[in-house]
A = this chain, B = another copy of it.
Amino acid sequence: MNFIEMMNWRYSVKHFNSEKVSQDKIDIILEAIRLAPTSMGLQAMKVFLIEDEILLKEIGEKSCIQPQIKECSHLILLAAREDLTDEELNEFIKRNMDSRNVSEESLSGSKSMALSVQKKDKSEFLDWSMRQTYIVLGIALAAAASEKVDATPMKGFNAQAMDEIMNLKGKGLASSLLIALGYRDEENDPYANSPKVRKAKDEFIEVK
């Protein structure tokens, strides 16, 4: 499939069948997530691949009652950082030095930009880091489609309950987005063969 075929193929799955996604496909999706662009490459988030059945059951009961949680093959949680600790910032600089074999001095521009992000107030920072998870979501959905793995992006869950279930409190992380992965249930998902609904090109895109 080319990219447009991929985008037409994918949709937000309402019901998954019982087929499991292979580990190699999961690894590709996770690697795409790891390589996804974020502001300055700061990656101010953490990614959880949730496989434990007891955890999934608890999430389905307390945070997200949508059937995709029960039916999916794998569940990914993108959790945004609530702040940028000095440790995170120092690791960011060290990572750049090590990967690119450059001096700390040559990264002074990157450091001052990262410092300006660190200085944002709490709610502004969280808004910024949450937005980064949406870029990653876009990449993850495209990566899944490239492997013909179906996905459901989900925001409408109880984030506070999720934070508690995933033990994120006190770790500087806040639940942002869920991605359920699996294979569409052609029989029971009314949208499995439904046309995509999008604004017309002329309405949505303006050439200036």
CB distance from A157 to the nearest CB of B (A): 13
Instruction: Tell whether A43 pairs with B4 under 8 Å between CB atoms, given A131-B130, A138-B136, A208-B50.
Output: no
| A34 beta carbon closer than 8 Å to chain B | yes
Q: Which of A25-49 contact B (CB under 8 A)?
A: 28, 30-37, 39, 41, 43, 46-49
**B205 near A3: Cβ-Cβ < 8 Å:** no
Which residues on the B side are within 8 Å of A33 (C-beta)? Answer: 205
**B48 near A28: Cβ-Cβ < 8 Å:** no
| A112 beta carbon closer than 8 Å to chain B | no
| A52 beta carbon closer than 8 Å to chain B | yes
CB distance from A38 to the nearest CB of B (A): 9
**A201 near B138: Cβ-Cβ < 8 Å:** no
Which residues on the B side are within 8 Å of A196 (C-beta)? Answer: 35, 99
Instruction: Tell whether A2 pairs with B43 under 8 Å between CB atoms, given A36-B138, A131-B130, A134-B131.
Output: no
| A189 beta carbon closer than 8 Å to chain B | no
- Of A65-73, A141-149, A180-188, which stretch is located at the interface? A141-149
- Report the Cα distance A33→B205, complex, angstroms: 9
| A169 beta carbon closer than 8 Å to chain B | no
CB distance from A26 to the nearest CB of B (A): 10
Say which residue of B49, B197, B204 sits within 8 Å of A208 (CB atoms).
Answer: B49
Please list the residues of chain A having a beta carbon within 8 angstroms of any beta carbon in chain B: 2-4, 7-8, 10, 12, 28, 30-37, 39, 41, 43, 46-52, 55, 95-96, 99-100, 127, 130-132, 134-143, 146-147, 153, 155, 166, 194-199, 201, 204-208
* A-B residue pairs in contact (CB < 8 Å), sample of 19: A3-B32, A4-B31, A7-B32, A7-B139, A7-B143, A10-B37, A31-B201, A33-B205, A34-B201, A41-B197, A48-B207, A95-B197, A96-B197, A100-B197, A130-B131, A131-B134, A134-B138, A138-B142, A139-B139
